[in-house]
Structure 1
Amino acid sequence: MFFWFICCLVDMWLISASDEICPELPPVDNSIFVAKEGEGQILGTYLCNSGYHLVGEKTLFCNASKGWNAPAPECRYLCLFSSSVGHCPDPLLVNGEFSSLEPVNVNDTITFKCNEHYVLKGSNWSRCLENHTWVPPFPVCKSRDCGPPENPTHGYFEGIDFNSGSTITYYCEARYCLVGTQHQQCIDGEWSSTLPVCELIREAPKPAELELEKALLAFQESEELCKAVENFTQRLKKSGLMMEKVKCSLEIRKADLKAKMLP
């Protein structure tokens, strides 16, 4: 109280010396009042002592025509478990910053911003409600870089750089087909697609495989390309082979050839 009294003596002298129309503000317990003159106005700011929060206007202004723009505020004891206190829990944002560094009153809104190399996940603002909760919930700041991805069962990836913008490529073991996105990029801390899977290549039934052999042989022996393609397609339709089965059968052949070429 003594410190408040000394500050008020100086501030009230400044107010009365500059403009006699400004009424004297009542003292506010547990606070410090600082007044200054600027651009033809008297500005008064209340600062609550530690352990108290401000209820009302923090900064008041007075000029020759209006007087003080608002009544003096209050400095109330800060108790987060009291329903009468208009204050929300202090905001928190790891690897980021928010717009207010002081206790926030009911209906106040703060904004969030992440540090460099981090991306905001969630809302960039939140409001203090009357029940002392924040809505929407606080966001998080996530690194723009991605961690090492997982390996699909019976598969692997190639790539050593997992920073933002980098690309990796997935492959499957022999006799397995890749289902999903083969090339993926790290974008804002997340890979551009879900993890692909490696499915076992199913061998085509024997009769169908014989028909495929005949179709391939006829294709190789034909001298006219357009006619060879047409005949090959017709043979596949007659045999009932689906293109997916043809693809799998060719993949098996490819895998077998690779295995034979190994020392």
Structure 2
Amino acid sequence: MAPTLALLLLCQVALYTTATSKKVCGRPPVTDGIDDTTLKRVYEIGEVVILACGQGYLPSTAASSRIICSDTGEWTQLNLACSPKMCPIPRPLQPLAMGRTEAPFKSVLNFTCDDGYVMLGANESRCLHDGTWSNPPPVCKAVNCPLPRAPRDGRIVHDKSVTGSTTMYGQGWTYECTSPKAPSYERGSCMADGTVPEPPVCREVSCSIPTNIPNGVITFAVMRPHGYKEKVKYACNEHYVLDGEAEIQCQNTGNWSSKPVCRAPCTVGIKRGRIFYNAKKLWIADLKPNRVFHGEHVAFYCLNRDERCGYPVVSTCNDGSLPIPECFEEPGKVEYSLRAKTLPSEITMCASSPPASTTSSTRPA
């Protein structure tokens, strides 16, 4: 009984081996754009498949699209390559497309409008298989607002003339009240959501008695509380420079606008050497008086030791402080008196200044 069973099992193995030894080809490997909707999972030896580009693609070469399942179970070489069809980008959108004039099949353009504009049309468009877009670019139309209401005891002054019963997004106006009252806020505009602010309240405001500023004076003012939009003017003492608006105004908040500041002059803090100031090359002893006004520039001369040449480094007077460049070396009395022609200011000037890291550092005057 046992030998018969063994022979039967061997016959079954032989039959299985014979049935499965026949080679087949699997599903052909295809590249992007090739139509694979009709392909099977398994092909017999010798079967021929003719491939084609799918919808929205074109063959990029004239190569054969025919492949054969070989007796080794491998497909012959496929030379077909497919490229997507292109949709022309609308000319007004090309600057936003980084100079591109076309987009490939399946590309999507997304559209948005700036704040204060509403979109008329679709917010996206897709490149279709026939090289056209699914939707035209939309139009962005400015939001319209109803005309604002004037405050009680006041009026509105528009920045631009207005016709009709609406105004466009971004257009503004000023609220004015009958003197001596002031509006609780002065400006309004058509907002992005199509609304306008409620009119302000007109009320009386008063600013405190104006005060002097350091190193300056009030040039003309009655020393009393001031009403809305009344002004006071300031000036600086001699040699000081006014920084800011000379006139301040009583605001609708009951506060004065920002006062100016009087900036102090500077002293050039060296005893020996030459400087460049007011378009002149001066020995420091000839700078009389030793005074530089706020905001003015002074150039000090430094030595480039490698090139044995001089170069200027500029410093600026800032409210009484004139930093001296780190590279500047004040000469000694003997060098200054007897060998002045060897100083950086007197020797050949460098063709270019050293790197910024060398010239930008300064030390206090």
Output the TM-score relative to the length of structure 2.
Answer: 0.22
Q: Which has the higher helix share?
A: 1
Output the TM-score relative to the length of structure 1.
Answer: 0.29
When Rg is computed on C-alpha atoms for both structures, the one with the higher figure is 2
